[in-house]
Amino acid sequence: MCLNIYLRTVMLFQGLPVNVKLVIEGMEEVGSQGLEKLVEDKKDTFFADVDYIVVTDTPWLSKKPGITYGARGNCYFFLEVEGARRDLHSGSFGGTVYEAMSDLIFLLGQLTDAKGKILIPGAFSGSGTKTVIPAKVIAKFSIRQVPNMNPSVVEKQVTDYFESKFSERKSPNKMKVTMVIGAQPWIANMNDPLYVAAQKAVKKVFNTDADMIRAGGTIPIAKSFEEILGKTVMLLGIGGPDDAPHGQNEKISKHNYIEGTKLYGSLLQEIAHAWP
């Protein structure tokens, strides 16, 4: 999409009104692994002359365009309980061994109360059947982060809590807690010239003011770009509220794609006008 935008902008204006560099990355759903190191390694070369960063992600809240200036962080955990050295036949061993699955179910049941409140102090599948007692079971869960939450602190709180609860079980099994993603929340200054330019672009293309959004999702690289490069970051996606992100029928509408192309082209023009 980005390439289409820039090609169309070049055709329309006989060239780009500002210099543009593209970073194309497809691992956001697993924490953009390796991208932060790349940004750090290239900050004095590829990114040296970059003034602003626009991430083409995050959906709108309605049919009205949205500009995202904040997003939640995310701490993603693996909780592992291991018992026997191998899987055991449930008919032969059921009721005679201390099952890792029972420990895991118990521990997961300690995460929230009946009303959904997180019980951790200080912190707010596949198909088919198998008649075995698994030697090792793993659960995955995440805790979204808001401003003033520190992933390192949350990691310690979660680990300490599970260790305390697991000791109450007096289980002979082994438990391990691993935080595989620790993304910080991010929030930008809406009054920055980049955001002003984006609002003007939305007004020009859609004849309406943009919704200013703080997203519930997590874009790990937004905070990394801001901290490593010291530049303003903005999330300007064109997804609609009915696009079913992460669903089997995830989509993007033809209307949003075409109008979004106009929006990004207009944004480049507004940036150029702001810095002649």
Final residue belonging to a domain, choices 148, 183, 218: 183
What CATH number has the domain bearing residue 202? 3.40.630.10
Final residue belonging to a domain, choices 150, 166, 183: 183
130 pLDDT exceeds 70?
Answer: no
Whether residues 22 and 41 share a domain: the answer is: yes
Tell me the residue range of the domain where 191 lies.
Answer: 2-72+185-274
82 pLDDT exceeds 70?
Answer: yes
- Please state, in angstroms and rounded to a whole number, the distance separating the CA atoms of residues 66 and 211: 4
107 pLDDT exceeds 50?
Answer: yes
Buried b (16+ CB within 10 A) or exposed e, 77-95: bebbbbbbeeebeeeeeee
- The first and second tokens of residue 132, run together, are 């075995």
Confidence label for 167 from pLDDT (cuts 50, 70 and 90): very high
Whether residues 135 and 157 share a domain: the answer is: yes
125 pLDDT exceeds 50?
Answer: no
136-145 and 66-71 beta bridge pairing: unpaired
Whether residues 21 and 68 share a domain: the answer is: yes
Quote the pLDDT of residue 273: 87
Of 80, 78, 129, 84, nearest in space to 103 by CA: 80
Helix (H, G, I), strand (E, B) or coil at 172: coil
Domains contained in the chain, number:
2
- Report the percentage of the chain scoring pLDDT > 70: 92
Final residue belonging to a domain, choices 183, 213, 243: 183
Whether residues 146 and 192 share a domain: the answer is: no
Q: What does the pLDDT look like over 250-262, one tens digit per residue?
A: 898 898 888 888 8
Quote the pLDDT of residue 124: 59
pTM over cut 0.85: no
Which residue do the tokens 């703080």 mark?
A: 214
What CATH number has the domain bearing residue 147? 3.30.70.360
